[in-house]
Amino acid sequence: MKPPISIRSGSRGFTLVELMVAMTGGLFLSIVVFALSRDASRFYQREARMANATLAGVSGFERLSGDVARAGHLVTPNITTDPHVCNRPQASWPQALRTLRALVVDSSTTSTSSTEVGVAGITPKGLIIAGALTTPEILLTNSVSQATGGAWEIALNLATPSAARLGLSTASSATAANQAVLSSVFTSGGVGRIVRLRDHGMDQYAVVASATAGTSSAVITLAPAPDLVRLVRGGVQCGVHDLGEGMALSVVDLVRYDLRSMVNDANYASLYKASGLNTGGTSGNALPYEGGRVELVRVELDPGGVEIANTREIVGEYAVDLQISAWSLASATDPTLTAVAPSTSIDTTYPTQLLRGVHLRFAVRSREADRLRPISGLGGTNSSDIYRIGLGGSISGTSDVGIPFAQYARVRTFQSDIALRNLENSVW
């Protein structure tokens, strides 16, 4: 028989009150840890969004800066007064070609008037850039002649290094590949680009009507206006001479940068659909702060200055501002660099050939509002000191725990001074 188990009279377990106190204390500790973890996670997410916006802004700003640096490359700084232009602008020329400039600053704000940028009172500017931006190669001609009916035709020399770099070939089997290259280089969206013909330092400008590849050949047919000039003894001392062999041919691009809403662009419907915005800008279950957003957009223009369909690109998302200032020579005979007055319009009447550099300032915001109030006393929203932008039109009030919803998003600004190297020798 086993002996009875002895039990200490002094030993006991936890009482119900002690257990409840311990569990309550642990619960409060868990709540504190969860709150700290939640705030840390929110802080990380907000900073990650700001970092993503900054990186995207840097990428877009570099694209813009690169195109500005190439302004005037293989094109006249100012076609109106350029003494090296042989066929002078006429009323029959397409509008953008008739007033061609290497750089034009557009102060129109209609594209942002109904967006969060317009509501904030910010007035961004736009840029129109001309130059060999897509195809920097200089091709040579085999002949430049007028066909029956008066249309000018340019036969390209395909046996040159520049033609080979573009992907053009003299092989008889390369007709289809050559046609694809010609269409890409000389047309955009089915619209002919501007071309420049240079011979003995004198230039002529024309517009491409079509580009056709044949067996070991490539022919560029020009539009009726502008008309080319032929060298005539005792008359015009510049133009196409003899058969036009060996003339330098380059392609001129016209692109525009500006800030605008792209919510209504069907090509980017999938981008906004993720935010709950349907094609056409309607918002059924749209995320806050998305309906009024603005992007930095790059679009190609035709020789008449009209946007070419399906060439719009979003270069920078959640854009806030784009400002441009410039400096130029005091005059054609005075090399002193002076800042262009802010009130001066750098438009199609400005002597663009005197410009020597520009200062770009581009700003983007974070994807969501993460600040309750703006920073006051540092310049306002329509100056160089933009630190926060109000997005109050999208969401307001307080949360279910009485905390006010954020109404302002942080802004990051990028700035750069860009020298216009292609305009350095224009002193006329």
Place of tokens 């000191």: 385
> 288 preceded by cis ω (within 30°)?
no
pLDDT in tens, the chain (428 residues): 555 555 555 566 778 777 788 888 888 777 777 677 666 666 666 667 677 777 888 899 999 999 999 999 999 999 999 999 999 999 999 999 999 999 999 887 778 878 888 888 888 999 999 999 999 999 999 999 998 778 999 999 999 999 999 999 999 999 999 999 999 999 998 899 999 999 999 999 999 999 999 999 999 999 999 999 998 776 667 889 889 999 999 999 999 999 999 988 888 888 887 777 765 555 555 666 777 889 999 999 999 999 998 999 999 999 999 999 999 999 988 999 999 998 899 999 999 999 999 999 999 998 888 877 777 544 444 455 688 888 865 455 554 444 456 688 889 899 999 999 999 999 88
> In the numeric block, which tokens belong to residue 352?
């663009």
Is residue 105 within 8 A of residue 204, CB to CB? The reply is no
Per-residue tokens: 396: 């307001």
Q: How many CB atoms lie within 10 A of CB 373?
A: 11
pTM: 0.85
Q: Identify the three-state secondary structure at position 428.
A: coil
Q: Residue 64 is encoded by which pair of tokens? A: 């813009």
